[in-house]
Structure 1
Amino acid sequence: MNIRHADILERARRNGKVTVDGLAAAFDVTLQTIRRDLSDLAAQGRLERVHGGAVLPSGLTNIGYDQRRRLNDDAKARIGLACAAQIENGSSLFIGIGTTCEAVARALVHHEGLLVMTNNLNAAPILSSNPSCRVLVTGGNLRAADAGLVGAQTAASVRQFKFDIAVIGCSAMDLRGDLFDYDLDEVIVSQTVIENSAATVLAADTSKFTRKAPARVASLADISMFVTDQTIDKFAPLASANRTILC
């Protein structure tokens, strides 16, 4: 790690976030040089890229929802389209919490005859803009950080249905193929969704491969399909065990 990389990490630890413009001015280098530095540090798992800069990765708390929405937004849009292509008109489905699941909702606006339940209050108005889509919102505790509904009441809402397909996300994955999240109340809901769906799609971009979260959701063995944006060599043997779509 070079001296500038070490200084960037120290600034991130001190301030919680660094910006491309601020670092370029501080080091008197080009924006392109800083973007390359941040990409290198992100590849090492030392930082996470967000729009305009980077933040420290955390194993205990998630980064802000607006920052996550801009993180790998092009990849998430592609994942959303790829997931939507697997969903037939007239299906019943569940869409979970998270910015990638929100991208799936956007990609479903032209589907017909859908019955969708969601605990994602960011996805609900997107889905309801489709007049051919019936939208059900679960009950549960509202998590202000990301407008997600979680907890036992949410899980109880899910148990009333058997979905043709469910789309869920996760906050982190490890090389054993285990999926993780930060909130146990969300984990309970995701596990219930898997149990009550004929097929479950995991929609996750490759930034999840380098992150850590404490609460285990499930294994890739429990998932019917994995939609992501690129392969990671060390992860390829696990991905090959499932139906994996790269986009």
Structure 2
Amino acid sequence: MLAKERQKTIIDIVSEKGSIGIHELRERLDVSEATVRNDLKYLEQNGMLKRLHGGAVDLSRMNEITYEQRAVVHASEKERIGKKAAGLIAPGETIFLDAGSTVMELATHLPSGFEFNVVTAALNVASAAGRHGNAHVHLVGGMLRSSLQELVGPKAIAGIKEIHAHKVFLSCSGFDAGKGLTERHIFSAEVKKAMIAAADQVILLADSTKMGRVFFAELAPLHKVDLLITDNAISDTNRTLLTAQGIEVLTV
């Protein structure tokens, strides 16, 4: 397939699906990952799509990127991170889970054999956690942001403030040594802030591509994070920056 034919196929797929990951494109087009990345770079430079964390999104849908669209990018890394995080939950604990797609992987792979409490503001996370009979799931109230299946606003924050959690497992849109943790949407950031304030330990679940990225809404300074679980592509330089701020880094 010639480059122009391949690029047209990519545009057609992205327009139809809304978003797609590099791994799926590589398999569908039967080309190397480098070729896919070059095609996406060319198409973005020509205003035909937007590259996003290991995938691509249709420009017409960039205002509100849905949970389903985010879930397709770096899917294998997110699954490994979620499984690793599940091993940190102890019997009898109360944990906060936010609305991120990586945290959803944790909710899917919760441990069995002992009981614990899960508090979340995400409908899909609550549903996934609820499939584990040993997890007592509590869903806070609030206004629904349907694209992310997340409850936000004053009622959600008030509900979180009533609870003490041993751990919060959260994600973010980006994290940076200078700017800290940031989010695309301020409503999501406010919910995450409340969870951080009400938890003893803050555990960030984020793939390495989010390091050095800064978004609209400030979430927390980096030193608020106790533990980062990320993929093994994180650079030695970034690992050093994180550990210098007292953050333990686990890679999967």
TM-score band, normalised by the shorter chain?
0.7 to 0.9
Q: Secondary structure at the match of 2:199?
A: coil
Alignment map for 1:24-103 (pairs within 5 Å): 31-33=30-32, 35-39=33-37, 47-48=51-52, 54-55=56-57, 61=63, 63-103=65-105
Aligned counterparts of 2:38 and 2:235: Cα–Cα separation in 1: 15
Q: What does the per-residue CA deviation read over 1:105-139, in whole Å, with 9 as the maximum and x for residues that have no partner? A: 11215252111111111111111112221110001
Tell me, in whole angstroms, the C-alpha distance in 2 between the residues paired with 1:40 and 1:233.
Answer: 26
Q: Is the 8 A contact 1:119 1:148 kept in 2?
A: yes
String of CA shifts for 1:119-168, please: whole Å, max 9, x gaps. 11111111111222111000111101011111111110011011011111
CA displacement 1:173-227 (0-9 Å, x = unmatched) = 2242611112211111111111110111111112323644211101220011111
Gaps of 5+ in 1: 25-29
- Quick one: distance in 1 between partners of 2:63 and 2:195? 23
Which range moves more in the overlay, 94-103 or 203-212?
A: 203-212
Distance 1:88 1:38 in 2: 42
> Contact conserved, 2:98 with 2:171, CA < 8 A, in 1?
yes
Correspondence for 2:250: 245
CA distance 1:19–1:103, shift in 2 (3 Å): closer
What amino acid maps onto 2:250 in structure 1? I
SS in 2 for 1:199: strand
Which residue is 1:232 aligned to?
A: 235
SS at match of 2:220: strand
TM-score by length of 1: 0.80
**1:125-136 counterparts in 2 under 5 A?**
125-136=127-138
TM-score of the superposition, structure 2-length normalised?
Answer: 0.79
Give the CA RMSD over aligned residues. Answer: 3.5
Identity among equivalent positions (%) equals 24
Residue 120 of structure 1, aligned match among 113, 122, 125? 122
* Residue segments in structure 2 that go unaligned for 5+ positions in a row: 45-49
Deviation at 1:88, TM superposition (A): 0.8
The answer as to whether partners of 1:168 and 1:202 remain within 8 angstroms in 2 is yes
Pick closer, same or farther for the CA change 1:200–1:41 going to 2, 3 Å: farther
Which of residues 174, 179, 188 in structure 2 aligns to 1:186?
A: 188
Higher RCO (C-alpha 8 Å, min separation 6): 1
Q: Which 4+ runs in 1 deviate beyond 4 A? A: 14-20, 40-43
Q: In the aligned structure 1, how far is the partner of 2:80 from the partner of 2:221? A: 23
Give 1:32 deviation, angstroms: 1.6
Report if the CA contact (8 A) 2:116-2:134 is conserved: yes
